[in-house]
């Protein structure tokens, strides 16, 4: 299996200007040196708290937000080197499903117009009759009746609007779909239906997904590989089963310890890792490890002086946070983690600060 999407050293910095002359006085480092690969036909789940830069990363991959530096290769072509017309043609194979389906659809267009417009812009052959057939095929595929083609966005429920958004993303037969919080704006009862639909479409059409979410349960359910993002950088990455069974980075441990477990006995016994302080500003990130200002295992050496890079840890590293369960043990590839002390924390050789772990 080969990687469809390859991201190397991706940066998105927004200049900060001030004073009478509006001179540049620094930058907000929304994305600051991200590397990731997404294999064909798989789902890469990107998770992190609000403000970590994950949505900016998704938009930068499609050049909806212009990156500051780095490489974004899709099928071996670097999108950042393409001219405007070349990029327009390349975008036929790259589409996005947005968080708010109502805001992403034009309220003045009916569904048929919204789905036909990309076909006309990209010069897809078939004429008016062929385009109408294509619209009805897609509506049926996403679980909507043919009569939906004549309706406007405000006439649908939230789940139906998201199905329309998915149909619009599929109309040009893309290879890569970036889904930014695809179910967070929906009722819980509808979320599962949309996730099942995305899985069915992936199996039928061979789609590749980059799914961005803050809901750990959603990411676990849909992802083959999970990346955990903090303050503009990926701090842990690995197969979904392995990351959830044995989290290696302190931040991943804290996220998973905060997620509720649907078992009263396990919920009562397990421990929660408490983080101190607030998320630092991306305009002035901490030196060294960016998580050190909130990390319960922070050390006086290396943490403040040296930024940890993602590195592969052997598969036999001990299990992760208390209550997280044993290592996957299924032959999955080793995880990557950006922490100087990951082995010592996992082995129990480093203890968290007093009061950082609570029941």
Q: Are residues 200 and 308 in the same domain?
A: no
CA distances in angstroms from 139 to 93, 144, 149, 167, listed in the order given: 20, 5, 8, 7
Of 223, 238, 270, the residue at which a domain comes to its end is 223
Q: Are residues 309 and 215 in the same domain?
A: no
Residue of 280, 238, 202 lying closest to 29 (CA atoms): 280
**pLDDT score recorded for residue 318:** 52
Q: Are residues 260 and 174 in the same domain?
A: no
- Note whether 170 and 202 are within 8 A (CB): no
Question: HSE (CB half, 13 Å, CA atoms) of 310?
Answer: 19
Q: Are residues 172 and 215 in the same domain?
A: yes
DSSP 111: H
- Note whether 161 and 186 are within 8 A (CB): no
Could you tell me how many residues make up the chain? 359
The helix (H) or strand (E) run that includes residue 96 is strand 94-97
- Note whether 225 and 17 are within 8 A (CB): no
**pLDDT score recorded for residue 355:** 76
Of 173, 188, 223, the residue at which a domain comes to its end is 223
Q: Are residues 88 and 125 in the same domain?
A: yes
Looking at the 3D structure of the chain, how many domains does it have? 2
DSSP 3-state of 337: strand
**pLDDT score recorded for residue 320:** 42
Question: Residues 6 or more apart from 269 whose CB is under 8 A from it?
Answer: 323, 359
- Residue 129 belongs to domain spanning: 3-16+26-223
- Note whether 111 and 139 are within 8 A (CB): yes
| Rounded Cα distance, 320 and 266, in Å | 16
**pLDDT score recorded for residue 357:** 79
Residue of 238, 109, 216, 230 lying closest to 165 (CA atoms): 109
Q: Are residues 195 and 96 in the same domain?
A: yes
Q: Which residues of the chain have pLDDT under 50?
A: 319-332
| Rounded Cα distance, 275 and 214, in Å | 17
């Amino acid at each position: 299996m080969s990687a469809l999407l390859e991201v190397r050293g991706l940066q998105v910095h927004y200049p900060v200007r001030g004073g009478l002359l509006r001179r540049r006085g620094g930058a907000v480092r929304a994305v600051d040196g991200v590397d990731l690969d997404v294999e064909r036909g798989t789902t890469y789940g990107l998770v992190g708290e609000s403000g970590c830069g994950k949505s900016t990363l998704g938009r930068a991959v499609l050049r909806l937000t212009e990156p500051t530096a780095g490489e974004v290769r899709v099928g071996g072509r670097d999108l950042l080197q393409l001219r405007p017309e070349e990029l327009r043609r390349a975008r036929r194979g790259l589409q996005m499903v947005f968080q708010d389906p109502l805001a992403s659809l034009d309220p003045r267009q009916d569904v048929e117009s919204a789905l036909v417009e990309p076909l006309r812009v990209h010069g897809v052959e078939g004429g008016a009759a062929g385009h109408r057939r294509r619209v009805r095929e897609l509506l049926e595929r996403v679980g909507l009746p043919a009569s939906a083609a004549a309706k406007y966005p405000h006439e649908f429920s939230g789940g139906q609007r998201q199905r329309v958004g998915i149909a619009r993303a599929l109309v040009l037969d893309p290879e890569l779909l970036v889904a930014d919080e695809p179910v967070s704006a929906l009722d819980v009862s509808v979320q599962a239906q949309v996730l099942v639909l995305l899985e069915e479409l992936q199996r039928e059409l061979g789609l590749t997904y980059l799914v961005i979410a803050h809901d750990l349960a959603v990411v676990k359910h849909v992802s083959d590989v999970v990346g955990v993002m903090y303050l503009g950088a990926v701090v842990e990455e690995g197969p979904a089963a392995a990351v959830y069974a044995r989290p290696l980075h302190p931040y991943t441990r804290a996220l998973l310890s905060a997620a509720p477990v649907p078992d009263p006995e396990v919920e009562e016994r397990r421990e929660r890792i408490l983080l101190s302080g607030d998320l630092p500003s991306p305009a002035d990130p901490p030196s060294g490890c960016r998580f050190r200002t909130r990390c319960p295992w922070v050390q006086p050496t290396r943490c403040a002086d040296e930024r940890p890079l993602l590195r592969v840890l052997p598969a036999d590293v001990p299990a992760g946070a208390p209550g997280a369960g044993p290592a996957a043990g299924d032959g999955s590839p080793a995880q990557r983690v950006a922490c100087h002390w990951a082995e010592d924390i996992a082995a129990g050789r480093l203890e968290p600060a007093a009061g950082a772990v609570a029941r």
